[in-house]
Structures are given as structure tokens and as C-alpha cells.
């Protein structure tokens, strides 16, 4: 079966923590919707996975910002996948799933495609998703990481303070500029790869 839809889910935090480094994925996804142009609907509040979430459901990409706190993202991501893919009439092989998240180990704005099964490297959001959603081998799965840099201190408290600190104006410019362009290019590369794999089946 051919690839029909790509579900792109960003991890982050809601409310007062939305504009922090840990929510870099949310910021980039919001900017990505605008870069995709008029064919990608504006984000709006929609009931998905039994929670209100910001979503942009286009014919090619379904963009979703996880509405939960980072450390407990997994159950909602699993519910959203089941609702939009399985209950939406798509076979697992017709759907691609991409998790977009921040990355402390890369410099600000660096975007990388990572295997779904690659180590979470201490990222609690990825850890939660891995614990709740098992990748169906018939589907297409990947992660896209967005570098946010890292504080000099490596202790848990220093890292926590950093990821929950407000994104600076210049940092937001990088996320909404070069990082968003990088994520778009990564999605195009994944889509081409997955469609090519489908044609050989």
C-alpha cells in the first residue's frame, strides 16, 4: 500500500511553559504550518485522543502539538495515533509517524533525522512515548530532533532550569527560521524515502 498521510507530532509543555526551550518542537511546528502554505490549514483547537489539542489536519500532513506535559506525553500520542490512523481508515502501512522534539546534545537550530528506536538519551518525552506506543513494523516511523544547546552545568537541576527557561528573541528567530526550514527538508526527505520503499513492495 502507498503512503497516504504523515502524522507529525511535536512534544513540549502547555500553558506557562509553552514558550520555553523544552517546547521547541511546538514552536517549530507552528512555524512549519505557515511555511507549508495555504494547503496546510491553520492550527485550531480540536478534540483528539480525548483531549483538546492544537491541530492542523491537511491532506498530506497532520500536524499535532501534544497538549500534555512532556514527561507524560506517551499515552496521548498513542491515543492520537490510534484515532487518526487506525480509526481514520488508514492501514499502518499507509501512515508515516514523525515525532518532533528538542535536543540538548545539538547546537541551537541543528536539525537531524533519527531512527524511531534510537536511544532517548535521557529525554523524558521520548521515554514516555516509547513506553506507550510500539511502532507497528508495517508503518513508517522516525524522529526529528531540534538542537537547543545546553547549559554548562550537567547536573539535573541545571538542565531542568535551562529547558524550562524562556526562549530568547534571537532563539525564537532561529527556531522559526533555519530550524523550521530544516524540519521541512527532513520531512521531504523522509516522505521521498518512504514512498520509494512502498514502490518496491
Catalytic residue set: 22
Rg (the chain; Cα; Å): 16
The phi and psi torsions of 193 (rounded to 5 degrees) equal -65, -50
Phi then psi for 84, rounded to 5 degrees?
Answer: -80, -25
65 DSSP β-pair partners: 10, 54
> Which residue(s) pair with 141 in the sheet?
97
**N-term to C-term CA, the chain:** 8
Nearest alpha-carbon partner for 151 in 165, 134, 133: 165
Amino acid at each position: 500500500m502507498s503512503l497516504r498521510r504523515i502524522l507529525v507530532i511535536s512534544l513540549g509543555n502547555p500553558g506557562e511553559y509553552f514558550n520555553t526551550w523544552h517546547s521547541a518542537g511546538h514552536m517549530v511546528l507552528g512555524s512549519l504550518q505557515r511555511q507549508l502554505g495555504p494547503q496546510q490549514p491553520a492550527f485550531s483547537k480540536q478534540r483528539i485522543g480525548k483531549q483538546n489539542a492544537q491541530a492542523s489536519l491537511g491532506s498530506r500532513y497532520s500536524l499535532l502539538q501534544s497538549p500534555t506535559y512532556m514527561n507524560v506525553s506517551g499515552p496521548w500520542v498513542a491515543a492520537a495515533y490510534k484515532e487518526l490512523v487506525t480509526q481514520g481508515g488508514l492501514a499502518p502501512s499507509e501512515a508515516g509517524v514523525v515525532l518532533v522534539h528538542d535536543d540538548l546534545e545539538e547546537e541551537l537550530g541543528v536539525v537531524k533525522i533519527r531512527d524511531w528506536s534510537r536511544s532517548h538519551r535521557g529525554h523524558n518525552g521520548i521515554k514516555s512515548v516509547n513506553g506507550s506506543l510500539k511502532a507497528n513494523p508495517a508503518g513508517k516511523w522516525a524522529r526529528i530532533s531540534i538542537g537547543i544547546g545546553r547549559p554548562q552545568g550537567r547536573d539535573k537541576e541545571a538542565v531542568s532550569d535551562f529547558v524550562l527557561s524562556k526562549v530568547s528573541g534571537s532563539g525564537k528567530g532561529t527556531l522559526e527560521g533555519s530550524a523550521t526550514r530544516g524540519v521541512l527538508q527532513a520531512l521531504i526527505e523522509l516522505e521521498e524515502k518512504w514512498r520509494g520503499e512502498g514502490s518496491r513492495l
